């Protein structure tokens, strides 16, 4: 048993990447849909969609790095 228990790093990296990609797609898709429909969104919705894009982008960059490289090396 490793230091962090029985974590499957490969599975965590893949699922984290895919979840982050979905988050980015929903955020960008929501903003693009509102823009093409010429709909004005309330400020909280614009903030939510923007934050989804930012968190999705960070997750795409960090999940493979953390779960695919850093944590397996610390075992």
Confidence of residue 4 (pLDDT cuts 50, 70, 90): low
Q: What are phi and psi of 7, to 5 degrees?
A: -80, 135
Q: Is the dihedral of CA 48, 65, 16, 22 positive or negative?
A: positive
Summary count for the chain: helices (H), strands (E)? 3, 0
pLDDT: which is higher, 38 or 3:
38
pLDDT at position 6 is: 79
CB 65 within 8 A of CB 36: no
What predicted TM-score, i.e. pTM, was given to this entire model?
0.86
Tell me the per-residue pLDDT of 12-57, one tens digit each, with 9 for 90 and over: 999 999 999 999 999 999 999 999 999 899 999 999 999 999 999 9
pLDDT at position 54 is: 98
């Amino acid at each position: 048993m490793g230091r962090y228990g029985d974590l499957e790093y490969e599975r965590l990296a893949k699922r984290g990447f895919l979840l982050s990609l979905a988050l980015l797609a929903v955020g960008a898709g929501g903003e693009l849909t509102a823009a093409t429909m010429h709909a004005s969104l309330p400020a909280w919705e614009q903030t939510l969609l923007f934050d989804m894009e930012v968190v999705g982008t960070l997750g795409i960059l960090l999940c493979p790095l953390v779960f695919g490289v850093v944590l397996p090396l610390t075992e």
